[in-house]
Amino acid sequence: MRHWLTVFLLMFLFVSCQEQKEHTAPAINEKDSVAIMTSYGVNTLISDSGVIKYRIVAERWEVNEKVNPSRWIMDKGVFMTQFDEKFHVQSYIQSDTAYHYDKQKIWELRGRVRIKTKDGLKFFSEQLFWDESSHEFYSNVFSKLITPERTLQGAYFRSNEQMTRYYVSNTKGSFEKGDIDGSDKDGGENQEMKADTTKSMEIAPRPQAQPRSKGSRVPLI
């Protein structure tokens, strides 16, 4: 009797062990998009070849090298101060979200993109790219540009990094009378400007501008 009871208990324990399941999560592998760093309350200076280029202020900064292409992600807003070679403030840049593709050296700014330069120029858009290699800004969505002299808005925008030479296509805006008849209020000659409010507008450069043309791309005028 005891022998059969012992056998029965052993069989019961064996069946019970077989029915148990181990609950485990799948292993994390290299294909998973896991940030290697996430920082909060960031206030840092970014330099290139020993020269400080800009300051970044962001509530949240994530560095992710697993996604393709790898990028920095600032999805809680970003504020940047751009400097020239002598560490003088060149412009202020802000947006709701920013992605920095570190390998390509390209910034993508999204949502309420705003720029204000030391010369009083203001830029507004919902998306803007900043190519650090070519030192250019460009946007393929509706953009608005306000200078002390005029207001422009169009579907395509491109400019040099200092926002002193720019190109806007499919433009419409307001202009001073002197912009159209070729003379200013004092009777002098204005800078050359070619205007077609139904197609495009090219603004003449300011004296201090440094042109940077690239191949067959539309030249900055």
* Digit-coded pLDDT (tens) for 88-127: 999 999 999 999 999 999 999 999 999 999 999 999 999 9
The verdict on residue 161 lying in a domain is yes
The verdict on residue 153 lying in a domain is yes
Q: pLDDT-based confidence at 30, cuts 50/70/90?
A: low
The verdict on residue 208 lying in a domain is no
The verdict on residue 215 lying in a domain is no
Number of folded domains that form the chain = 1
C-alpha angle with apex 130: 79 to 108, nearest 5 degrees? 70
Domain of 105, in residue numbers: 33-203
The verdict on residue 37 lying in a domain is yes
DSSP sequence for 101-113: ETTTTEEEEEEEE
The verdict on residue 213 lying in a domain is no
Q: 82 pairs with which residues across the strands?
A: 54, 91
The CATH code of the domain that includes 102 is 2.60.450.10
pTM of the model: 0.64
The verdict on residue 184 lying in a domain is yes
The verdict on residue 8 lying in a domain is no
* Digit-coded pLDDT (tens) for 120-145: 999 999 999 999 999 999 999 999 99
Would you say 143 and 170 are in contact if contact means Cβ atoms under 8 Å apart?
no
